[in-house]
């Protein structure tokens, strides 16, 4: 066989082999499954609270779909801002995400200058849960309904006290919103956390409090607290016996706690889409729905665009409330 022909055949074989290797390598790279290693879920509040419990439920369900561990990492402090800053500084490869809520992802940036920007440092992925707040009074309170509270506050300015988890917290903002809508003056009493405030409402040291469901629901059921109104637009399916504020006689009080998933800015659209698909699947999971209901919240799975519209509306609402009432951070 001629030497030239043998040489040509060898060249063709080598070229074909290299081509197959290149195609195989390209296919492997293109087909790499996300995630292919553990994923970190940052929680901005201490263990045991609503955010932490929800994160652990979500992480478990996401892990089942992904086939990779989702490791919850608590980064509490500064009303949730420490955890948000930490998440913002992580690589944008999809392997770290954070559950932000009304405080660090909504109100805190309106109250003070923070080391992160929600617009520049994060990609908003999905609204994942909402929960209404409940206006409660001690079981032996003379206030039998919301109208009783407003009537006393009008007759006695700065007499009615309400507990808060600190300036800018939902309990504080809800109290200010009620005062503005009703045209009354009440006194907010700040606490380091909602738990102690709830205890003082039960004992009668505070007149009222607007709290998220988790700390008060058990006391409502036991009869130690009386629920007068809920801050949802419609009656909650979780608390169907509690009237909305509109039903109770005061319009314009719709204030939800909310939680959503954020990724570091610059995360690829493919990874964001992966998250959205996964979050939609877990939001429809019956076990997750039941466990969320036990926390007093309802699951959601919006698109990024829908979440951005929601965030813009929340920012506009609370910016006005904070400005009008001169609310300051501590």
* pLDDT (average), residues 160-170: 87
Higher pLDDT, 16 or 267: 267
Determine the pLDDT at residue 126. 98
Taking CA atoms, 166 is separated from 71, 88, 253, 327, in Å, by: 30, 24, 20, 11
- Separation of alpha carbons 100 and 42, rounded Å: 9
Give pLDDT, residue 330: 58
pLDDT on residue 157? 97
- Rounded Cα distance between 248 and 86, Å, is 42
Residue 293 has pLDDT above 90, yes or no: yes
Q: Which residue has the higher pLDDT, 12 or 256?
A: 256
Average confidence (pLDDT) over 102-118: 92
For residues 232-241, one letter each, b for 16 or more C-beta atoms within 10 angstroms of the residue's C-beta and e for the rest, the string is beeebebbee
pLDDT classification of 105: cutoffs 50, 70, 90: very high
Beta strands in the chain (DSSP E): 39-43, 70-74, 96-101, 122-138, 161-164, 187-190, 208-212, 225-230, 256-264, 298-299
| pLDDT > 80? residue 8 | no
With a cut of 60, say whether residue 22 has pLDDT above it.
Answer: no
Is residue 25's pLDDT more than 90?
A: no
- Kindly list the structural domains of the chain, giving each domain's residue range(s) and its CATH number in brackets, ordered by start: 39-130+256-324 (3.40.190.150), 132-248 (3.40.190.10)
Write out the DSSP string of 266-323.
Answer: T--HHHHHHHHHHHHHHHT-HHHHHHHHHTT-EE----HHHHHHHHHHHHHHHHHHHH
Collect all residues with Cβ–Cβ distance below 8 Å to 42 and sequence separation of at least 6: 73, 75, 83, 86, 87, 90, 96, 97, 98, 99
- pLDDT of res. 167: 76
Q: What is the pLDDT of residues 27-63, one digit of tens each?
A: 333 447 899 999 999 999 888 888 999 999 999 999 9
pLDDT of 326: 80
The predicted structure's pLDDT at residue 155: 98
The rounded distance, in Å, linking the Cα atoms of 216 and 209 is: 10
Residue 77 pLDDT: 86
Residue 16: is its pLDDT beyond 70? no
Q: Which range among 70-79, 188-197, 260-269 shows the weakest confidence by mean pLDDT?
A: 188-197
How much of the chain, in percent, has pLDDT values that exceed 70? 90
pLDDT tens digit sequence for 166-192: 777 889 999 999 999 999 999 999 887
Q: What is the mean pLDDT of the chain?
A: 89
Query: Given pLDDT bands bounded at 50, 70 and 90, which one contains residue 269?
Result: very high
């Amino acid at each position: 066989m001629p030497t030239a022909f043998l040489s040509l055949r060898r060249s063709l074989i080598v070229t074909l082999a290299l081509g197959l290797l290149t195609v195989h390598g390209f296919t492997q790279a293109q087909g790499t499954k996300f995630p292919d290693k553990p994923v970190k879920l940052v929680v901005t509040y201490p263990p045991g609270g609503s955010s932490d419990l929800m994160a652990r439920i979500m992480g478990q369900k996401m892990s089942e779909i992904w086939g990779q561990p989702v490791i919850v990492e608590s980064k509490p402090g500064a009303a949730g801002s420490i955890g948000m800053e930490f998440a913002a500084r992580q690589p944008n490869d999809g392997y770290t995400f954070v559950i932000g809520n009304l405080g660090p992802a909504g109100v805190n940036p309106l109250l003070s200058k923070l080391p992160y920007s929600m617009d520049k440092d994060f990609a908003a992925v999905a609204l994942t849960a909402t929960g209404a707040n409940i206006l409660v009074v001690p079981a032996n309170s003379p206030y039998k309904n919301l109208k009783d509270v407003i009537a006393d506050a009008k007759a006695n300015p700065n007499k009615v006290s309400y507990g808060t988890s600190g300036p800018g917290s939902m309990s504080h903002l809800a109290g200010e919103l009620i005062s503005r809508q009703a045209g009354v003056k009440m006194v907010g009493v700040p606490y380091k956390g909602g738990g102690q405030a709830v205890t003082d409402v039960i004992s009668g040291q505070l007149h009222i409090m607007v709290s998220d469901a988790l700390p008060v629901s058990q006391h409502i059921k036991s009869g130690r607290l009386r629920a007068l109104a809920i801050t949802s637009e419609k009656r909650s399916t979780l608390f169907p016996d509690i009237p909305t504020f509109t039903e109770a006689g005061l319009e314009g009080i719709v204030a939800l706690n909310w939680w959503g998933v954020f990724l570091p800015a610059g995360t690829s659209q493919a990874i964001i889409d992966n998250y959205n698909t996964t979050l939609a699947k877990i939001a429809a999971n019956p076990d997750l729905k039941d466990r969320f209901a036990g926390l007093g919240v309802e699951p959601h799975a919006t698109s990024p665009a829908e979440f951005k519209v929601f965030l813009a509306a929340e920012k506009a609402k609370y910016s006005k409330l904070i400005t009008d009432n001169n609310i300051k951070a501590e």
